[in-house]
Chain A
Amino acid sequence: NAGVMQNPRHLVRRRGQEARLRCSPMKGHSHVYWYRQLPEEGLKFMVYLQKENIIDESGMPKERFSAEFPKEGPSILRIQQVVRGDSAAYFCASSPGTSGSRYEQYFGPGTRLTVT
């Protein structure tokens, strides 16, 4: 059973460009979460999605950031007009979303974004 997959693993963007980060959840998982980790810090929640729905985006910056989880295909975290402060590791997690195990979130390997 493949784990959570994220690509690309490393992404370099110049200031002002767009960054697209992809996440394929574990097989059978319908809930996706995005977290951001700055160097030497813990993970900060950004957004929680189910298929075609954003459930909680309370951790997302109001501007330039958006996320989607379409009916078909991976979840996408999109950062427009990137700035140096966006440089971080972005992790996707998925969970089954079923009673009893809905809390268990399994993380992907992350995408390390560097903005030059």
Chain B
Amino acid sequence: QQQVKQSPQSLIVQKGGISIINCAYENTAFDYFPWYQQFPGKGPALLIAIRPDVSEKKEGRFTISFNKSAKQFSLHIMDSQPGDSATYFCAASMDSSYKLIFGSGTRLLVRP
């Protein structure tokens, strides 16, 4: 119940394309869903986050889509660039515990 399942494990996209990464959860008590970007040898950087009271949030080229009934959320990267090549992690947490439960990560490669 504490798991967050992330897919795909790896993703190759051409420059200018749309990258889509999906996550699913079981615990309906989760109420905060962030996405992190991690480059090799670096710490995760907070990209964008959503609460379950909205179905979509957009910041620049990054969009989170949230489906509460399906218990799924996804990250869309529009106009993907080679500089977006990194590992992306979804996560979830709940009000009673601030700890983040992370997905297993998606390694994105954007080809020039």
**Which residue numbers of A lie inside 8 Å of B, CB to CB?**
4, 6, 31, 33, 35, 41-45, 48, 55-56, 58-59, 91, 93, 95, 102-110
Is the Cβ of A45 less than 8 Å from the Cβ of B43? no
- Interface magnitude class on chain B: 20 to 34
Interface of B is mostly: strand
Contacts of B105 in A (CB 8 A): 41-42
B100 within 8 A of A: yes
Name the residue on B nearest A108 (C-beta): B43
| Smallest CB gap from A31: residue in B | B98
A-B contact count (CB 8 A): 61
**A107 contacts B97, C-beta separation under 8 Å:** no
How long is the Cα–Cα vector from A41 to B44 in the complex, in angstroms? 13
Kindly identify which residue among B34, B49, B99, B104 contacts A45, using a CB–CB cutoff of 8 Å. B99
Q: Contacts A42-B89, A43-B102, A45-B100: A110 and B43 contacting too (C-beta < 8 A)? A: yes
Asked if A43 and B98 make an inter-chain contact with CB atoms under 8 angstroms apart, the answer reads no
Option from B6, B46, B101 in Cβ contact (under 8 Å) with A105? B46
Given contacts A33-B98, A103-B98, contact A43 B44 (CB under 8 A): yes
Q: B100: which of A4, A43, A108, A109 is its contact (CB, 8 Å)?
A: A43
A8 CB, nearest partner CB in chain B, Å: 14
Query: Do B102 and A104 touch (CB < 8 A)?
Result: no
Q: Say yes or no: A109-B101 contact (C-beta < 8 A), given A103-B49, A103-B93, A104-B49.
A: no
Q: Are B98 and A109 in contact (CB under 8 A)?
A: no
What residues on A are CB-neighbors of B43 within 8 Å? 4, 6, 91, 107-110
Inter-chain contacts of B18 with A (CB < 8 A): none
Asked if B44 and A48 sit within 8 Å, CB to CB, the answer is no
Residues on A with C-beta less than 8 A from B89 are: 42-43
Residue from B32, B89, B100, B104 whose CB has the most chain A CB atoms within 10 Å: B100
